[in-house]
Amino acid sequence: MTVTRFLSAFRLWALAVVTVPLLAGAIAQPAAAAPFAAYVMDARTGQPVYRQNSDTRLHPASLTKMMTLYMAFTAIERGQVRLDSRFTISSKAANEPPSKLGLRAGQQIELRYLIRAAAIKSANDAATAIGEGLAGSEEAFTQQMTQMARALGMNNSQFRNAHGLTREGHYSTAHDMSVLGRHLFYDFPQYYNLFSRRSADAGVAQVASTNRRFLDDYAGADGIKTGYTRAAGFNLTASAQRGNKRLIATVFGGTSTAHRNQVMAGLLDASFPRIADRVREVRPQRPRMLVQTTTRRAQVAASPAATQPEPQRMVLAASPAPQARPAEAASLVAVAAPAIPAAPVPDLTEALRQAGAVPEAPAAPKGALALASSQRPRLRPGSAAPTAVAAAPAAEAETAVTASLAAPVLAASSRPRPSPRRSTASAASTAAVVADAAPAEAPVAAPAAASEAGLGLLSSPAPRPRSETVILAAMGEGDLGNPEALEIVSRPADSGRSFGVSVGIYPSQSQAERELLSMALQDGAILGNARRHVADTRRGFNAQFVNLNKGQAELACERLRSRSRECSVIGR
């Protein structure tokens, strides 16, 4: 009876260890070979819900493969490798202890099968092959793993191998592994379903999941990874969803698979009621990858002509002679012009005397300069026309000067037409000049109306009728035919803009569109007139800004990376 009561009391105490302390904020550590630690977070916000020894550095065991897979997914997304890339198995990878896929040294296998074996079966040889294939050696790969851990905020993690077997200096914490599990869920949703598979084809064999018991027993569980070594105990990082709520939790130091699963189920059951049903989702920031860039500068060797001065002569090339000023040109022409031979001078004085009864004027002195001929100025409005008697002295003086100098020139050239409106005296003088210049023709008589009014119009040809033809464009002489048909060459509005930038892959189109809209509002000055576009790919919905040229796309990516945003240049 005493033994029965003792067993009943022990069972009640064990149940209290698992359930009651969860509500009080602490959990008793069961007897185990490794220290116990636990951490539960709200996956939507990253806020802690429960913690116990969450920052204690412990052996993570095969939870290490979560970071190995994260590195592989990152390399695929950046285009360094592909799922069908074939990796050669080294002797080191082939000789890893179990659990293993059974790979042979020198064997070649696709990366997709190595990922399945590492994620589902937790194969150590597959994990080592992934690390060596991505970085060239396991040492280089573990350095990259540690650097990635720092970029993700896992400040208490350090890695010495890709599979997680116990090694000095290889450690992590329950908090850090929960953070890593959250990044796997949000950063690579296209690969996350791999952690919920019960079995998969690994190329050389069909493998079964090490986490299938917890996936089958706990409703809503969909991952993530188990781990076990003697020094670490039984570890598990799990993710589960109920309605709008999602939790990610990690347990270190379980005594067995059943105990580990039972503790994890108790932690999740106690934590779901403690978080709100609807909260604002805060996605984790993608790690900013530091890329070392090399700037090349062109150096040109100095030539002797550039470093040693050499006297040079300036030679003025032949050029046209400068144009002379108008006054100087007139004088030069007067000097250079050949003398005009004298011609018989008609009796201009007699003709003028007969036309206007002009008295004889004294002859101009020889060699005197006088104005040969010019138009008379117009009369002021309202002034009376001068009479023939008043104009006689002026005509007489003009005749005296013109007779000496203008007669030879007028004999060799045609006279200009007189102004339409002239006074009576001027008309008479003009008639006399015309009669003198063309004696064979009949003298022109002024109209009677003109003589009475003092002003008149000389006879002139009637103006030509205005043409009704409208000249649209001037053409060259002889180019009167129809012009040849023009070939119109056009190009699309986005010609030369066949580049864009990719800012991430999302599980749904609505999420990708929301992210594009948010970035356009925040970084509109960087993206300019880029057009938002969501591409449906096998990995998910790729959010892109397109309609950029190459230079604009590269500049936009550099500026986005400087703001800790993921970005890659794409060409269409």
Query: Which of these is catalytic: 65, 100, 121, 245?
Result: 65
Decide: 569 and 503 in contact? Cβ < 8 Å.
no
Segment 329-344 mean pLDDT: 45
Q: For residue 224, is the peptide bond before it cis, meaning its omega torsion is within 30 degrees of 0?
A: yes
Query: Which of these is catalytic: 54, 62, 157, 172?
Result: 62
Q: Residue positions in the annotated binding site?
A: 225
Phi, psi at 87, each rounded to 5°: -105, 140
Specify the higher pLDDT residue, 23 or 497.
497
- Mean pLDDT of the chain, nearest integer: 75
122 is catalytic: yes
CB burial readout 306-343, b (16+ within 10 A) else e: eeeeeeeeeeeeeeeeeeeeeeeeeeeeeeeeeeeeee
Segment 296-302 mean pLDDT: 51
Segment 390-419 mean pLDDT: 52
Phi, psi at 39, each rounded to 5°: -155, 135
> How many residues are there in the chain?
572
pTM: 0.50
**Using one digit for the tens of pLDDT, what is the confidence trace for 237-267?**
999 999 999 999 999 999 999 999 999 999 9
Query: Which of these is catalytic: 90, 122, 178, 209?
Result: 122
For the chain, the structural domain boundaries read 45-274, 499-571
Assign 376 a pLDDT band (cuts: 50, 70, 90): low
What would be the CATH architecture of the domain defined by 499-571? 2-Layer Sandwich (3.30)
**Using one digit for the tens of pLDDT, what is the confidence trace for 462-516?**
777 776 665 555 444 444 455 555 555 554 545 567 888 898 888 888 888 888 8
In this structure, of 89-93, 231-235, 459-463, 489-493, the range with the lowest mean pLDDT score is 489-493
How far is it, in rounded angstroms, from Cα 21 to Cα 27? Answer: 5
Largest CA distance in the chain: 176
Assign 389 a pLDDT band (cuts: 50, 70, 90): very low
How far is it, in rounded angstroms, from Cα 75 to Cα 382? Answer: 103
Question: Which range in 4-18, 169-183, 277-291 is most confidently predicted, on average pLDDT?
Answer: 169-183
Whether the per-residue pLDDT at 7 is higher than 50: the answer is: no
DSSP alpha helix (H) spans, 96-188? 111-116, 124-135, 138-152, 174-187
Assign 447 a pLDDT band (cuts: 50, 70, 90): very low
How far is it, in rounded angstroms, from Cα 247 to Cα 227? Answer: 19
Q: Is 533 left (phi over 0), alpha (psi -120 to 50) or beta?
A: beta
Segment 385-414 mean pLDDT: 50
Percent of the chain residues topping a pLDDT of 90: 44
Q: Residue positions in the annotated binding site for substrate?
A: 225
Fold of the domain built from segment(s) 45-274: Beta-lactamase (3.40.710)
